[in-house]
Structures are given as structure tokens and as C-alpha cells.
Amino acid sequence: MDVKLLLLLLLSVLLLSAASMAKDDDEQQQKVQCHEDDEAALLAIDDALGNPYNLASWTRNTSCCDWYDVDCDQDSGRVVSLSVFQDTNLTGAIPDAIANLTHLRTLLLHHLPSLSGPIPDSLAALTDLTHLTISWTAVSGPVPSFLANLTSLTMLDLSFNSLTGLIPPSLAALTNLSAINLSRNRLSGPIPPGLFSNLQLQDDDDEVYLRLSHNNLSGSVPADLLAAANLALVDLSRNALTGDASAVFRRARYVDLSRNGFVFNMSGVEFAEETYYVDVSHNAIRGGIPAQVANLTNLQTFNVSYNKMCGAVPAMPRFDAYCYQHNKCLCGAPLATACRRYYLINTISYKNKMRAMVVVLVLAAAGAAAATTKKKECNAGDKAALLAIKKALGDPYHFASWTPDNLCCEWYDVTCDDTTDRVVGLSVFQDANLTGTIPDAVAGLTHLRTLTWHHLPQISGPIPPAIAKLNRLSLLIISWTAVSGPVPSFLGGLKSLTLLDLSFNSLTGAIPPSLAALPFLSGIDISRNRLTGPLPPALFSKLNTTQQGGAYLRLSRNNLTGGIPAEYGGVAFEVMDLSRNALSFDMTGLRLQEGVSSLDLSHNMLYGGVPAQVAGLSSLQDFNVSYNRLCGELPAGAARFDQYSFFHNKCLCGPPLPTPCN
């Protein structure tokens, strides 16, 4: 080789090495150095918790800005965020030393089931705090009134703990607090007046969220809360609340009032045009379903079951009978009960009450002569099948009305077709004393269209092959039971099936590919089981969404693996919940059709970035990819969601996250 050429190559190498060393020196200088007071506070926290393995990176030989769970301000080097989460071995109380992180803006202690004791008074010193999350812990005691001193607070999440006592009225003094989540505790007493009444929103588009579900709250909902500006989400479910809360529907787009004691007339309720979630089940609500509901184009969930409602169900084919069952006298599709003439009252304008009363009187007189012929005996074969079901379950008290002397169309849990008198619906639900397996005798109900076994914790064994004979079945619900074994492949032979709900059981194995053969199946819920394996690629491939609406897929809290099949990009989904599984795939290439309103992929092992196509879907209302391994700058469409949707990923940045992209 030429000597000059060799010397030139050597010189080039030396220059490149020097440049690289200079770059490394620059990067080292640019690294943010942790403030010594913050380092001391963090080490005190580590010591107070017994130096857990989760905080093993917290050592003096590295900058505390590089420690796990810690974020620093890029300019000042002060610790602004501490997020400790998902460690079942971390024990003790919340350390007082946290109060020494005086520049803290975000404090998150999440999914630490052995973290106990009260919320310490020392947190009152964190006056810069904007986000406080203490959730899924064993923390107990009251919701402290000193939280009112945290005047910068915008979000408070104390859900899934063991907090007791009252909701402090002092929270109403916080002028920036727009999101409160105190659900899944043991709180009692009334909802204090004034919540959000002093709120000073920075932007007219800012929204207000309130979650108080699964407590023991009582009394009525304050009128000022129902009228709060920019109220977007209200979840008061599973409490002991009473009174009239119907005003909330005028503003909020997501409303869950289920399992309370609310009493109001639904007929005159006015809904916000963008409403997408309504659950008022298990109350004492009367009246009819307003016709406006059928015109709510964003509505994805609607449940008025277990109330005292009457009248015709508006034409909304995307909702099944389960949404309306167990009311006083609702009728019409998808319920098996056809509407008789006296139900016309509910099709008459709410504003014309006096005219409607005349119609009722006329129709009542016309139907009086036929009143004695309404009750009919069911088909003899159906009656024999029902008695065989009762016998197989040990003649339980639940079926006390099932006697040969009674007309079987009047038996509890049984619905007959008004024309043929064949049994078309069997809904057995909410009985903790009912034991045994699902009887094979159900196969004798050959005209069955709806079969429900719900909230029967002692019903066990596999899903019986006898169900394969129910070829008219459109709705199959076996949920909240101890049923085990596989999801049977014979379900693929039930060609009329539109909804399959096998949630909250102990089912194992893979999702059978045979479900893809069902041409009308638009809803699948097999969440909260022990399923494994991949997602079948052809699910919903035969569904005509133009006629039947979008598809629902709920498979959360299983152990499913792999990715979302590319074929799902051709399905018109409305809801997809695959959260809390073991899915692992590059999310960058995910594509979904317009029409999706809810997408939850949280708590998996997704990597790559958030695709702009998905985040930009105008129909998307709920979006959650938190607790994954995603990286990169969030697309512009993500800014309309709250930062909780993107928490705890590897290196996501940009709005709505507080972490800027460098």
C-alpha cells in the first residue's frame, strides 16, 4: 500500500477518534446533575422502605436524575417526578422524606399492595404538586383535608385503597383540580357540595372528571356538581346514592350511575350530543327510554337494566337484550317481549302528557276484554326441559315458581314468544346459593334465543356440549361464575349468535378460531379468564358492519400473547380492550378503521411508537397504552387525551406528557 495513503488513513482515524471523544465529553457535560438535597431525600426514602430491590439503582455513584422512577427538570436538575409502581415486595408506609423533594410536581405510588398506613401529613409541604396518585395499595385512614393546601393540584387519584371516612369538603377550594378519582375505597357519607365550583380552567376545552365508584356514599348528588362546567366523565356506580341525578346527562359524555338507589323519570332526560357511555342499571328509575337516545351517534354503551322502566325500546340494533332486561314493562327488539298497544304511550312526546293520558284510557278500555287471555301455558316440551333443569340443579329455592301447576311462561327467569308460546329466553342470575353445573337439559329448549347464566359464583364445570344444539341462539352469556375448561369450538356452529359474553370465569386455553365463522357475531367478551395463546386472525371477518354496527372485542386480564393480527385493520371495531395481557409487538405498524371509540392496550409489552393514524382517529374517545415499552414522540392526535393514557412507558415524550422531546 502507498505510504502516503496509509498515513492519510491513520490521520483520518485519529481525527475521528478525537471528535468522538470530544462528543462524549460534551454529552457528559450536558447530563443533568441531581441536586444534593434531592439526592439526600431520595436516599432517605430508600432507607425508610428498607432498601428494596426495586430501588437498586439508587446509589451515590450515579446522578439521581438517572435513577429508576426519578425524573429531573432539564434546566435546574431538581427532581420533579417520582413514580414508584408495580412492586409486590415493597413494604412499609409512605416515607415522610418525600416532603423534602420540594420541587416535586408528580408523585405516583401505584400497584404497591404491601404499602400501608395513612397518607402522611408531610405531603402537605409539596406545594408544587400537580399530579398525586396513590392507587392500588393498602393505604388506609381518611382522605386528608390538608390536600386543600396543594393549590397547584390538577389531578388526584387515590383509587383502589382502603381509605375510610368522608370526602373532605376542603377539596372544593382547589381551583386547578379538574380530575378526582377516589373509587374502590370504603368512603361513606355524602358527596360534599362545591366540588369543581371554584375551578379555573386554563382552556375552554379542558374537561372535568369525577370517579367515586365502589364506595358507600349516600345522600343525593349536589346540584352544583351536576351543573359543573366542562363536566365530561362521572362515575358514581356501586354506592348508596339516592335522589334525582338526571341533570348530569346534559353535560357529561360518560355517565355511570349503576347500582345505587337513584329515582327519577328517564322519559324527559336530555343527553349531551357527544354522549358515548350511559349505565344506569340497578336503580329505581321509571319512565321510558327517550327517543333522542337513538340519535346519539357516538353512543357505545347503554344499559338501563334492573329498573322500573316501561314502553318501547328505540331502534338501536347495536345494543342487545342484556342492556334492557329486568324492567317493569320494556318491550320490543331486542327483547323477546313484543309491544302491545298500551305501550304506545312511550312513543308519544313527553311534552304532551295530557293527550297521552287520554290515549292510555282509550287503549285500556279496548284491551280490558282481552286481559284474561294474556297468560298462556308454554310448549309442553319446553316445560319438561325447564323442570329437568330445575331437577338437575337440586330443586333450588331460586326456581320456587317452577311448578307443574303454574303457567311456565310466568315462571321466574323465563321469557316466551307471544305468538308461539315457545320459551325464547332463560336468564338465571345473581344467586350465590345456586350450585352445580350448567344442565344438559338446556338443549331441550330448542327455540331459545337468549341464554344467560350470570353472577352465579358456585356454578362450575365446563360449558356443556349440549349448548351446541341451540342453533337459534343469538345471545349467550355465561359470566361471573366458576365455569372452567376451554372456550368450546362448537360455539362456531351457533350461526345466529350476535353476542358472546364469557367474562369473569376460569376458562383456559386458546380462543377457538371457529368463532370467525359466525356471520352475525359482533360482540365478544371473554375478559377476566385465564386464556393463553394468540388472537385468531379472522375474528369478525364475516361481519357485515353496515347492517349490524361495529364490533366489540373485550379480552382484558388474560395471558394472551403475540400481536394484533393485521387482518383486524379491516374490521370496523367500536371497542377493543386487550389490556393486562402479555401481548408483545411493534405498535408502530398498527392500523385501525375510523369508528373505534375505545382502545385499551395498557399493561402489555408493546414496543415501538404510537402510530399517528390510530391517535388521529376522530371517533376515538378512550385511548390507553400505559404500562408498556413504547418510545418516541407522541403524534399530534395524542394531545387530546390525558397523560394517564401514556404513563409508564420506556421513553414516550411530548404532549400530553410533561416530558418534552429533546
Q: Specify the 3-state DSSP secondary structure of 70.
A: strand
DSSP symbol at 493: G
pLDDT digits (tens, 9 = 90+) for 605-623: 999 999 999 999 888 888 9
Residue 291 exposed, middle or buried by CB count within 10 Å (0-12, 13-18, 19+): middle
Return the H-helix or E-strand segment holding 364: helix 353-367
Give the β-pairing of 423-429 and 414-416.
antiparallel
pLDDT for position 204: 63
- Identify the weakest region by mean pLDDT among 18-27, 72-81, 181-190: 18-27
| Dihedral-angle region of residue 274 (phi above 0 means left; psi in -120 to 50 means alpha; beta otherwise) | alpha
Q: What is the pLDDT of residue 594?
A: 87
Residue labelled with grid coordinates 417526578: 81
Mean pLDDT of 482-497: 94
User: What is the pLDDT averaged over residues 345-367?
Assistant: 32
> For 589-601, what is the mean pLDDT?
90
| pTM greater than the 0.75 cutoff | no
Please determine, for residue 342, whether its predicted confidence score (pLDDT) is greater than 60.
Answer: no
> Helix, strand or coil for residue 220?
coil
Residue 143 to residues 102, 147, 165, 188, 255, Cα–Cα distance (Å): 22, 8, 7, 11, 24
319 Cβ contact partners less than 8 Å away, ≥ 6 residues apart: 302, 334
**Regarding predicted confidence, which is higher, 31 or 117?**
117
Question: What dihedral angle (degrees, nearest 10) is formed by the CA atoms of 350, 356, 357, 363?
Answer: -140
Q: How many CA atoms lie within 13 A of 458 on its CB side?
A: 8
Amino acid 426: pLDDT: 92
Joined together, the cell numbers standing for residue 297 give 351517534
Find the mean pLDDT for residues 255-272.
92
Comparing 363-377, 383-397, 497-511, which segment has the lowest mean pLDDT?
363-377
Q: Report pLDDT digits (tens) over 138-180.
A: 999 999 999 999 999 999 999 999 999 999 999 999 989 989 9
pLDDT in the model for residue 346: 37
Find the distance separating the first CA and the last CA of the chain, reported in whole Å. Answer: 45
| SS percent in the chain: helix, strand, coil, step 5 | 25, 25, 50
C-alpha cell at 594: 375510523
The answer to whether residue 1 scores a pLDDT higher than 80 is no
Q: Is 373 or 334 the better-scoring residue by pLDDT? A: 334
pLDDT bucket at 376, cuts 50 / 70 / 90: low
Model pLDDT for residues 81-96, shown as the tens digit of each residue: 999 987 878 899 999 9
CA angle, corner 407, sides to 406 and 413, nearest 5? Answer: 95
- Mean pLDDT, residues 69-85: 90
Euclidean distance between CA atoms 210 and 197, whole angstroms: 13
Give the separation between CA 590 and CA 613, rounded to whole angstroms: 8
**Is 80 exceeded by the pLDDT of residue 278?**
yes
| % residues pLDDT > 90 (the chain) | 54
* Tens of pLDDT, residues 6-46: 444 444 444 444 444 444 444 443 567 889 999 999 999 99
Q: How confident is the model at residue 431 (pLDDT cuts 50, 70, 90)?
A: confident
Q: What is the pLDDT at residue 544? A: 66
pLDDT tens figures, 407-425: 888 888 888 888 888 999 9
Report the 10 Å Cβ neighbour count for 207. 17
453, 478 Cβ separation under 8 angstroms: yes
The mean-pLDDT minimum among 1-10, 284-293, 295-304, 493-502 falls in 1-10
How confident is the prediction for the chain on average, in pLDDT?
Answer: 85
Domains of the chain: residue spans and CATH: 109-337 (3.80.10.10)
How does DSSP classify residue 423? E
Structure-block grid coordinates of residue 458: 358456585
Whole-angstrom Cα distance, residue 344 to residue 337? 14
When pLDDT is averaged across residues 550-577 and rounded to a whole number, the result is 90
d(CA 33, CA 77): 6
pLDDT of residue 541: 80
